[in-house]
Structure 1
Amino acid sequence: MDGRAKPGHDARKNRSILRIAACATVALLVIVGAFTGWVASLGPLPLAQAKQVSTTVVDRNGKLLRAYAMADGRWRLPVDAKSAIDPTYLRLLFAYEDKRFYDHGGVDPLALARAAFQLVTTGHIVSGGSTITMQLARLMEPRHERSIYAKLRQMVRALELEHELPKDQILDLYLALAPFGGNLEGVRAASIAYFGKEPKRLSLAEAALLVALPQSPERRRLDRNPEAAHAARDRVLDRMVEDGTVSKQDADQAKAVPVARMRKQIPILAPHSADQAVATMKGAPVIRLTLDAGLQKNLEALARDRAIAQGPNISVAIIAVDNETGDVLARVGSSDYFDERRTGQVDMTRAVRSPGSTLKPFIYGLAFEDGFVHPDSLIEDRPIRFGSYAPENFDMTFQGTVPVRKALQLSLNVPAIALLDRVGASRLSSRLKQAGTSLVLPKDEAPGLAMGLGGVGVTLQDLAQLYAGLARLGATKPLREIALAKDDREPMRLMDQAAAWQVGNVLLGTPPPENGVHNRIAFKTGTSYGYRDAWSVGFDGRITIGVWVGRPDGAPVPGLVGRTAAAPILFDAFARTGRIPAPLPKPPRSVLTASNAKLPAPLKRFRPLGELVRSGSDLAPHIQFPLNGSRIDVDRSDGGRYAAMPVKVAGGVLPLTVLVNGISAGDIDSRRQRLIEPPGPGFARVTVIDATGAADTVVVRVQ
């Protein structure tokens, strides 16, 4: 034989090879097809479910105010690794769990090879070779078995995760889902529950403990088996020393730190504000409020301590507002949210109560604005009747003739009601509503003089908004508590700048309580009828704070007075802001600053409606038409504009000048009459001043 293969033999051999290749190809296709079908059977990644977190409410700086557990009772707080996690923890986490996290595509072949080698050489599993991405996949689809199938599933899901999400989002998800024992999920919830702080700044001992716990969260729970947690933490530190990540000296110091044995409470700051925000922003995972967590914590402690000192069943509410922005900086709805005896879950900053004397500054403000009285004018504090209504002072005494400034500072009732009678209760009510305040009158009652002493319902937050308007020189701004990207709030008119400044300047001189300093805070107190509510509201150049003290059920508390119960809390609240009171705004140019002796004759002494000012032997001007308190129906047929309204005057020394709401409307001719254009629907104040300064005023309603 020549050793050469026969042609037939070669052909058979080739056909055999082709059959084997074909079978292998078919087998490979079957395997690939089966694998592809199996991967498809896994379905889409459950990302939406994995991204569900506890609703968290944070302050203006991102600090946690309150978190709400998920529907199943788990605490899972959102995490931002870049800005909210201590770098030491991340360094230990990567060194211990996944050194090449930012380099692999979800599966680390080197880690898998190391795990396989350790299994072969030791006979048991030393490390699983799972990457952080694979662990996230397991957390998203929890399975208890440890098998090749389970590991393969994690690998497939990890590859899918790496395809769907960037590395930073994968890390954030893992840090939010990692188990830490009980109902705690995520490093943020664990840090708050175990250390009482955010994980932004952790010690080496704390960081190592948080790395160790997810390996066996139930066996290492601090509140059940702190010894196991301690040992696991030390093993992490030993590994870090072996890897050169941590020095032995630092590790030894960290090992000496004891492990906490009790969980701490998840923060509950500003619970009333948080509840309201969650009800408003339904479904939002993170809600940012305008509150300041530090100030909120200080004022909550103040309210709690003072309520206890006041006696059983008494609560305290406090609200702090930024004057410039109208942002609520702190809201303490009750002295203790969980105290049922004090009805703690009722937000008393939003409860409608009788304001006592706290509306008096706005009566004086409108009187200053209308120009018939000045802070240094004299006013009578004597017994007087307004029809069947005879107001009395709180101490049942009368001061006689006093400056208007002192009448407001001492909160005298008779001067306030006399000014309100001149200003008009309906006009005061209209102006306060125009400034954003919701006044609640008794059923079927119109605004009357009694509202000047508390005969109307108002909330503490509305009072704070009004007083912040005084600090803003007469322009209120709707309060804001939820910090939204768009702020479309427009200022609302309360009174003119000069009048607002004069009120603030007067209130600045109010004698403070024993714990206060003179001329630092402009404030007013109030006590409702029957000693049911004690109030104090004040402002400096930066912030306005309102305080309410009383029983939420409205029961009377003998001896509960604004000056002794609420004012000291107000001054303590300003002290707890941590800042020296800021000065009030400078006076506008239009402010008249003069002593009583140098005031014009009509401003030297306040005179009620109907009492005319005489100059020498001449009668002062008297408005004959329109009559005070009358309703004027004005024709609007001319393109929707109001037709002219006649003004007729008797007496007075020419020339006579007409003012409508403090703005000149021209001079009156020798016939002592003039047609003026009404300012629009609502209340209008018409004033006539003669050449000697004598004046008369009426208030009419235009419609």
Structure 2
Amino acid sequence: MSVKIKQVSKLLIGDGIVFLLWCWFLLCLPSRLFVSPTSYVVEASNGALLNAAIASDGQWRFPAADSIPGKFAKCIIAFEDKRFYKHPGVDILAMARAMRQNYRAKGIVSGGSTLTMQTIRLSRRQDRTVAQKLLEILLAIRLEVRSSKQEILRLYAANAPFGSNVVGLEAAAWRYFGRSPQSLSWGEMATLAVLPNSPGLVHPGRNITRLITKRNNLLDQLAKLKIIDQATANLSKLEPVPGKPRPLPQNAPHLLNRFKTERASLKIPTTRIRSTLDEALQLKINSLLKRYNNRYRANDIDNIAALVLNVKNGTVMAYAGNIYQPENAALESHVDMIKAPRSPGSTLKPLLYASMLNDGLILPKTLIPDIPTQIGNYSPQNYDLGYDGAIAADRALSRSLNIPAVRLLQTYKYPRFYDQLKKLGFSTLNQPADHYGLSLILGGSEVTMWDLAKTYMGMARSLNHYNEYKGYYNPHDYDAPGYVQQKNIEKLEENELQRNSLLDNGSIWNTFNAMEELMRPGDEGLWEQFSSAQRLAWKTGTSFGFRDAWAIGLTPDYVVCVWVGNADGEGRPGLTGIDVAAPVLFDIFRQLPKGKWFETPKNKLKQLSICRQSGFKASEYCPDRVTELVPFAGEKTVVCPYHKVIHLDQSKTFRVTDQCISPANMVHQPWFILPPAMEYYYKIKHSDYKPLPPFRNGCGDTGNNYVMDMIYPKNNAAIYIPLEFDGKRGKVVFTATHKNADAQIYWHIDDEYVATTAHTHQLSLSPAPGKHTLTLVDNQGERFVQQFTILDREKH
């Protein structure tokens, strides 16, 4: 009995050992064979290499490709492992031959390792001993059980040494031949196939004779195996072998760096991406920006960036964060200006215009005051330092006038606009709304090119989708553009659509139409040159101090954003959006296919009777009306405040009242009447403007219809008078206007008479610090009173 127990015990122990050995065999290989860091690689949408960065361990090592070229597979198998497809990881015949050769040579002259064994050795990097060789044999067999022959070849090709700091076939092809492995010839591929055999000895640029001999022998072997014919082998032998390693393409360095920082959030497991960038377009834009940069550097303007988005797909087509010149550190070309927060200048004005249309605060052509303006200590100025008196909102946008924009924001309220920008996805508004105030609309904040282009792309996508979604809105239209190709794009479910959006399609359509009319002094020829090529909504911007020049344009298919300036924030004369950024914008659009303009979103617009002169909703007193397509919210706007009925005598020469004439004998006529300050400048640029007729003798003005007004300073203004160079206090130019061009105005400060003016009502005064009361009295006895304060020191 005891003997049987012992036999059973021995069997159990033997089975247990076998089981443990089998478990070890199954688990001896890690799930991931190679853990070395790999290079970051960015490919274009067509698979072409745009950029690569050396791995963190100083090696050029690309992530393993999905497949390897057939030429390399044939070359490496012919050179290293002729029976690769027949053995289970170990070639007994090759090992026997190697042992015989080593015995005869009394040293190691042949290893007999298969490609599978070499792959195991590359992953382990252990000393070459007999014990390690036996372990490699076991691990190679295990690898063959786990992986297909193609997978083993792929692992080998990605991790084999190719001399110097080049690891893997793909990195070697680019470093030695400047092309992808798929495009190499038989001679070039044979050269690479012989390198892993002795990478420390055979290095391109050294030992050329031995390299050529090995390559030629391999070519003859390929011919012998009937893989290629002898003529091809002989021609391939004439090809030169590479010299020193070549630099890899650096055509999208800033996108590569962006991918490095965002890889974790994108949840991409590999360091290689197939991007959405169009290779041809990226190269054209790189060349175009370099050409403009060479021109602008004569004015010490060192940096330029451009971003092109595909509206239909919501993807990035070209990403040039700067002119890449790493050899000149002073240019700071490493800074990605697409991500850098900068002052947006006037590029936010269309967003305010669209928001006010959306909320029913204005109509597309509503007249906006354009007169000298002071709000607290803030006095905005137009680019041309002039005034229109009153200007249509769309025209103010197309001319990028600052004063109307500030007055619109004053109506809309800057905290409300601040919240709107946050909702639209502007990520750099890090201060509270009060920090920016009304300057928010003139570039008083910071934005990134990425956020700016993303917002305009969202507007264009929303307008493109108006018909597709039957009046509903896609909540993902304003999502950030993607730069990584996605194989499976999730389809939007119908229940995800929304009834409302941040901006309705009618407001967006009106805004883009206004932007299409963009015109600035001096750019007429530029616009005419472009307008025949393609319809384009565009906007320029210039930051305070000429530090940032912007141009952004869009069509239903593309959004292009351009920034020009200095990365360190230094301003330069002439650094304006219209002068340096707009020409680049137009040149980029010339590289893009032409398309149709936006369709009119009729289901988001309504026809409204508009007063032609004022742009407001027509009142009963507006004689000249037009019908326009406006957003539904336009119905909420006020009726025209500038058309009133006046009473004239029978000759229509004088105004009259019932004090001097019977109402039955009056002619009642509607009249376009602007407030005096607006009229003062408006009539200079509008010769057809008709001032109010004077009152007939004996008839008084009972309504004071804006007889007098102050142009500067406005009521309750706080004014600082700086010292002149001689140390004396300067003066303030007070400006008033009067309906009657022949009227005289008597000026009083704190009830003390100062002076009398006629025709042109301006006075240079230097009141003492403190609060004062200004009183104007005309020769008809009409009075105008307001307050102002002279500051003792400048407020900050």
Q: AA paired with 1:509?
A: E
Q: Which residue of 410, 413, 419 maps to 2:402?
A: 413
1:195 aligns with 2:198: no
SS of residue in 1 equivalent to 2:526: coil
Q: Which residue of 285, 301, 315 maps to 1:299?
A: 285
1:314 corresponding residue in structure 2: 302
Per-residue CA distance 1:261-303 (angstroms, 9 max, x = gap): 1211234443333333323435943353644161444433433
Looking at structure 2, the residues matched to 427 and 571 of structure 1 have their Cα atoms a distance apart, in angstroms, of 34
- Superposed counterparts of 1:128-207, under 5 Å: 128-142=111-125, 145=128, 151-207=133-189
1:601 aligns with 2:613: no
1:472 corresponding residue in structure 2: 461
Looking at structure 2, the residues matched to 175 and 547 of structure 1 have their Cα atoms a distance apart, in angstroms, of 42
1:44 aligns with 2:58: no
- Superposed counterparts of 1:118-129, under 5 Å: 128-129=111-112
Q: Which residue of 487, 502, 514 maps to 2:526?
A: 514
2:699 corresponding residue in structure 1: none
Looking at structure 2, the residues matched to 158 and 371 of structure 1 have their Cα atoms a distance apart, in angstroms, of 74
Looking at structure 2, the residues matched to 329 and 580 of structure 1 have their Cα atoms a distance apart, in angstroms, of 13
Looking at structure 1, the residues matched to 407 and 27 of structure 2 have their Cα atoms a distance apart, in angstroms, of 79
Q: AA paired with 1:508?
A: E
Per-residue CA distance 1:517-554 (angstroms, 9 max, x = gap): 21432110000111111011111112212111111221
Looking at structure 2, the residues matched to 116 and 441 of structure 1 have their Cα atoms a distance apart, in angstroms, of 72
Looking at structure 1, the residues matched to 78 and 460 of structure 2 have their Cα atoms a distance apart, in angstroms, of 57
SS of residue in 1 equivalent to 2:195: helix
1:436 corresponding residue in structure 2: 425
Give how far 1:72 is off.
2.8
SS of residue in 2 equivalent to 1:586: coil
1:701 corresponding residue in structure 2: none
Alpha-carbon contact 1:315-1:342 (below 8 Å) kept: yes
Per-residue CA distance 1:456-508 (angstroms, 9 max, x = gap): 22221111122113312467512144647787999994311011011112222
1:582 corresponding residue in structure 2: 595
Alpha-carbon contact 1:320-1:331 (below 8 Å) kept: yes
Alpha-carbon contact 1:108-1:129 (below 8 Å) kept: yes
Alpha-carbon contact 1:409-1:507 (below 8 Å) kept: yes
1:288 aligns with 2:273: yes
Q: Which residue of 32, 54, 69 maps to 1:69?
A: 54
2:557 corresponding residue in structure 1: 542
Q: Which residue of 439, 442, 447 maps to 1:458?
A: 447
Q: AA paired with 1:330?
A: A
Alpha-carbon contact 1:508-1:522 (below 8 Å) kept: yes
Structure 1: stretches of 5+ with no match in the other structure: 1-28, 621-703
SS of residue in 2 equivalent to 1:200: helix
Paired residues, what number? 583
Alpha-carbon contact 1:53-1:77 (below 8 Å) kept: no
Give how far 1:427 is off.
2.2
SS of residue in 1 equivalent to 2:64: coil
Structure 2: stretches of 5+ with no match in the other structure: 1-12, 464-474, 627-633, 647-667, 671-796
Alpha-carbon contact 1:363-1:428 (below 8 Å) kept: yes
Alpha-carbon contact 1:241-1:251 (below 8 Å) kept: yes
1:90 aligns with 2:73: yes
Percent identity reads: 33
Q: AA paired with 2:577?
A: G
Per-residue CA distance 1:335-372 (angstroms, 9 max, x = gap): 22624212223222222221111111112212332445
Alpha-carbon contact 1:315-1:334 (below 8 Å) kept: yes
Alpha-carbon contact 1:321-1:543 (below 8 Å) kept: yes
SS of residue in 2 equivalent to 1:601: coil
1:498 corresponding residue in structure 2: 506
Give how far 1:415 is off.
2.7
Per-residue CA distance 1:84-131 (angstroms, 9 max, x = gap): x32222222223322332332111234445556777899998864432
Alpha-carbon contact 1:469-1:494 (below 8 Å) kept: no
Give TM-score, length-normalised by structure 1: 0.73
Alpha-carbon contact 1:439-1:458 (below 8 Å) kept: yes
| Residues 41 and 496 of structure 1: CA distance in aligned 2, closer, same or farther (over 3 Å) | closer
Looking at structure 2, the residues matched to 399 and 209 of structure 1 have their Cα atoms a distance apart, in angstroms, of 74
Alpha-carbon contact 2:79-2:194 (below 8 Å) kept: no
Q: AA paired with 2:618?
A: A
| Residues 194 and 293 of structure 1: CA distance in aligned 2, closer, same or farther (over 3 Å) | farther
1:225 corresponding residue in structure 2: 207
1:211 aligns with 2:211: no
Per-residue CA distance 1:593-612 (angstroms, 9 max, x = gap): 79974974169799x99994
Q: AA paired with 1:76?
A: R
Per-residue CA distance 1:591-650 (angstroms, 9 max, x = gap): 3579974974169799x99994556589x9xxxxxxxxxxxxxxxxxxxxxxxxxxxxxx
Per-residue CA distance 1:649-696 (angstroms, 9 max, x = gap): xxxxxxxxxxxxxxxxxxxxxxxxxxxxxxxxxxxxxxxxxxxxxxxx
Alpha-carbon contact 1:321-1:327 (below 8 Å) kept: yes
Give TM-score, length-normalised by structure 2: 0.65
Q: AA paired with 1:265?
A: P
| Residues 477 and 170 of structure 1: CA distance in aligned 2, closer, same or farther (over 3 Å) | same
Looking at structure 1, the residues matched to 39 and 60 of structure 2 have their Cα atoms a distance apart, in angstroms, of 9
Looking at structure 1, the residues matched to 437 and 103 of structure 2 have their Cα atoms a distance apart, in angstroms, of 93
Q: AA paired with 1:562?
A: G
| Residues 351 and 120 of structure 1: CA distance in aligned 2, closer, same or farther (over 3 Å) | closer
Looking at structure 2, the residues matched to 387 and 89 of structure 1 have their Cα atoms a distance apart, in angstroms, of 75
Q: Which residue of 84, 88, 96 maps to 1:105?
A: 88
| Residues 275 and 583 of structure 1: CA distance in aligned 2, closer, same or farther (over 3 Å) | same
Q: Which residue of 575, 579, 582 maps to 1:564?
A: 579
Looking at structure 2, the residues matched to 286 and 575 of structure 1 have their Cα atoms a distance apart, in angstroms, of 34
| Residues 47 and 575 of structure 1: CA distance in aligned 2, closer, same or farther (over 3 Å) | same
